[in-house]
C-alpha cells in the first residue's frame, strides 16, 4: 500500500524557516518524480515544486522560487521542502504527492501557519 506521511509543519513567524519532510513507503521511491502541492485555508490547490526521480530536474512555482528548496533522499525514501523567508501567504496545508505531471497518490498534508 502506497503511503505518504508529511511532517514538520507548525507555527512560524514571518521571515522564519521550516523544513517539511515526506516519508514514503509501499513503492519504489527512487522510480518516481515527487511533488509538493499546497492549499491555503478555504482555497484551491496550488502546485509548489517538483523533483525528478534522480533529482536531475527541479521546478518551482514563481511564488516560492528563491525561497523554497525541494530535495529528496532516495536511500531514506524521503522528500523534503526547505522553506525560508516565509510569508503570511505561505500559510497552507502542504501535501506531498507521488508522480510527475499527474500525481496519483497524496499524503494527508501538514499545516504550516505563518503568523506573528
Cβ of residue 41: shortest distance to other proteins, in angstroms? 12
CA distance 83 to 71: 11
In the 3-class helix/strand/coil scheme, how is 98-112 assigned residue by residue? ECCCCCCEECCCEEE
Q: Classify strands 92-98 and 78-83 as parallel, antiparallel or unpaired.
A: unpaired
Interface characters, 64-93, with other proteins (x: CB under 8 A):
------------------------------
Interface characters, 14-53, with other proteins (x: CB under 8 A):
---------------------x-x------xxxx--x---
Chain contacts with other proteins (rule: CB under 8 A): 35, 37, 44-47, 50, 59-62, 95, 97, 100-109
Amino acid at each position: 500500500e502506497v503511503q505518504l506521511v508529511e511532517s514538520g509543519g507548525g507555527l512560524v513567524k514571518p521571515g522564519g524557516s521550516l523544513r517539511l519532510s515526506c516519508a514514503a513507503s509501499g513503492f519504489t521511491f527512487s522510480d518516481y518524480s515527487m511533488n509538493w502541492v499546497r492549499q491555503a485555508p478555504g482555497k484551491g490547490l496550488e502546485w509548489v515544486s517538483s523533483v525528478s526521480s534522480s533529482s536531475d530536474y527541479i521546478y518551482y512555482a514563481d511564488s516560492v522560487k528563491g525561497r523554497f528548496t525541494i530535495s529528496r533522499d532516495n536511500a531514506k525514501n524521503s522528500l523534503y521542502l526547505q522553506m525560508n523567508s516565509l510569508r503570511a501567504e505561505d500559510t497552507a496545508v502542504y501535501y506531498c504527492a507521488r508522480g510527475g505531471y499527474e500525481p496519483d497518490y497524496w499524503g494527508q498534508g501538514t499545516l504550516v501557519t505563518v503568523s506573528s
